[in-house]
């Protein structure tokens, strides 16, 4: 008894002094790296279009509404991708689904480089959207099921921060490629060609990232849900499924309404309501915003562990709702951009670090990926409208792009209210 007590006491002391990151196994770190790199490269491939949209408008001769429509289609198809690969991840495995989605969005970017018309570009961007939505669903579940409950918020925050790095990579590559006069009017094609590079990540994932134990154990028992949609939309779960869809809808409308159009807003002449930075100059000012976003993603989970996940989310929502109108009206000088950009990036992105673990905790293992992929990505169908709606509003003489961006504040405030209606199971073991 004495020895047992001593061992228990020694364990308690070790837990108290051992840094959390040293309690994570090598396998868990590899899962985290795979999911983060996948999400980072996904962001890079998606944002390449937003960086090149000014050049594409000139090359193909389309307007803001069409530019926004192309973004809308990509996001709408990402919702379908999340639905499809949620089921694939539940049936065939989280890691296999992750590899499949990376392959899709990588080669869709390469295909976009061959586009000879707006219709062809639309087709390739739609395919990229399928891979994009599927990657988030499979990667978030993979990490949530692998990491310890006590550190799940931190893990998802680290994964989500990959989006900011991918965004920065897209901006740097766009500035280098689109800013080179020697490459001519077809330089945007080279930018999309670079987007095929993520496909090589699959080789590493295949060798180093196993399926989560909770999934393999469930599969070994032979218990498989024949129709996962009947479960997540069944009597027991339909309420929370619909609430996650509603939360994802308001939040992603606000996010995509701002950040899809941010490069265009910064590049647009002041006389047209923009910041007047030009195409190459605007890409330089994107980087401070995404540096702020990176720290927002990373710190969200750590703050949530201190003051609570729901409270942290509400603070981010209120801050974003306040700052967006200010940024839209005042971002006209380098000083303002330097001061406000990182703060906008921080509060305008960090809250996404909640979703990977938060939604995973709401569904049982047999339908977790389906529930997460469907409920969150269905919200993208509403969010997908944002690039088009903001593009249309930006063309109205009495509104302009600055006020169009400011209108997204209402959706941040709505998200802050909806979160109260959903249960918070932070730090608890996942339901089997």
Virtual torsion, Cα 73, 76, 77, 81, nearest 10 deg: 160
Tens place of pLDDT per residue across the chain (432 aa): 444 444 444 444 444 567 877 888 888 899 889 888 888 888 888 888 888 888 888 888 888 778 878 888 888 888 888 888 888 888 888 888 888 988 998 899 999 999 999 999 999 999 998 988 888 778 888 888 888 888 888 888 888 888 888 888 888 888 888 877 777 788 889 999 988 888 888 888 888 888 887 778 777 666 666 788 888 888 888 998 999 999 989 998 888 887 777 766 666 655 655 555 555 455 556 778 888 999 999 899 889 888 888 999 999 999 999 988 887 666 666 677 777 888 988 998 888 888 777 887 888 878 888 888 788 778 878 777 887 777 777 666 676 666 777 788 889 999 999 999 888 776 666 665
Question: Is 303 contained in some domain?
Answer: yes
Question: Is 266 contained in some domain?
Answer: yes
What is the model's pLDDT at position 61?
A: 87
Question: Is 426 contained in some domain?
Answer: no
What is the model's pLDDT at position 415?
A: 93
What domain count does the chain have? 1
Question: Is 52 contained in some domain?
Answer: yes
Q: What is the 3-state secondary structure (H, E, C) of 9-74?
A: HHHHHHHHHCCHHHHCCHHHHHHHHHHHHHHHHHHHHHHHHHHHHHHHHHHHCCCHHHHHHHHHHH
What is the model's pLDDT at position 321?
A: 92
Question: Is 51 contained in some domain?
Answer: yes
Question: Is 394 contained in some domain?
Answer: yes
* CATH code at position 213: 1.20.1250.20
What is the model's pLDDT at position 46?
A: 85
Question: Is 14 contained in some domain?
Answer: no
Question: Is 58 contained in some domain?
Answer: yes
What is the model's pLDDT at position 113?
A: 92
What is the model's pLDDT at position 280?
A: 47
Q: Which domain holds residue 404?
A: 25-421
pTM, two decimals, is: 0.76
């Amino acid at each position: 008894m004495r020895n047992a007590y001593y061992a228990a006491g020694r364990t308690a002391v070790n837990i108290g002094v051992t840094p959390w990151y040293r309690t994570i196994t090598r396998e868990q770190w590899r899962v985290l790296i795979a999911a983060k790199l996948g999400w980072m490269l996904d962001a890079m491939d998606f944002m390449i279009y937003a960086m090149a949209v000014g050049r594409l408008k000139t090359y193909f001769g389309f307007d803001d509404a069409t530019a926004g429509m192309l973004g809308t289609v990509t996001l709408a198809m990402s919702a379908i991708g999340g639905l499809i690969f949620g089921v694939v991840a539940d049936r065939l495995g989280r890691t296999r689904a992750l590899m499949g989605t990376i392959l899709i969005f990588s080669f869709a970017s390469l295909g976009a480089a061959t586009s000879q018309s707006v219709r062809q570009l639309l087709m390739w961007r739609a395919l990229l959207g399928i891979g994009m939505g599927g990657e988030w669903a499979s990667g978030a579940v993979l990490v949530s099921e692998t990491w310890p409950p006590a550190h799940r918020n931190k893990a998802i925050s680290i994964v989500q921060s990959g989006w900011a790095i991918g965004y920065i990579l897209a901006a740097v590559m766009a500035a280098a490629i689109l800013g080179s006069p020697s490459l001519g009017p077809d330089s945007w094609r080279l930018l999309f060609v670079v987007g095929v590079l993520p496909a090589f990540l699959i080789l590493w994932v295949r060798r180093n990232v196993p399926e989560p134990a909770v999934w393999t154990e469930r599969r070994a028992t032979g218990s498989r849900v024949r129709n996962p949609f009947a479960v997540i939309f069944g009597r027991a779960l339909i309420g929370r499924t619909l609430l996650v869809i509603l939360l994802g809808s308001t939040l992603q409308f606000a996010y995509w309404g701002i950040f899809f159009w941010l490069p265009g807003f910064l590049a647009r002449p002041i006389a047209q309501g923009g910041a007047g930075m030009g195409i190459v100059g605007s890409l330089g000012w994107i980087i401070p915003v995404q540096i702020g976003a990176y720290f927002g993603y990373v710190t969200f989970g750590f703050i949530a562990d201190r003051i609570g996940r729901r409270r942290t989310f509400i603070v981010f929502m209120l801050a974003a709702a306040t700052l967006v109108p200010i940024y839209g009206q005042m971002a006209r000088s380098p000083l303002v951009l330097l001061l406000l950009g990182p703060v906008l990036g921080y509060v305008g992105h960090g809250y996404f670090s909640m979703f990977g673990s938060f939604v995973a905790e709401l569904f049982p293992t047999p339908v977790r990926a389906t529930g997460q992929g469907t409920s969150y990505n269905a919200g993208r169908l509403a969010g997908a409208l944002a690039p088009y709606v903001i593009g249309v509003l930006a063309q109205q003489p009495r509104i302009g792009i600055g006020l169009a961006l400011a209108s997204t504040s209402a959706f941040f405030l709505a998200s802050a209210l909806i979160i109260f209606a959903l249960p918070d199971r932070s730090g608890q073991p996942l339901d089997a």
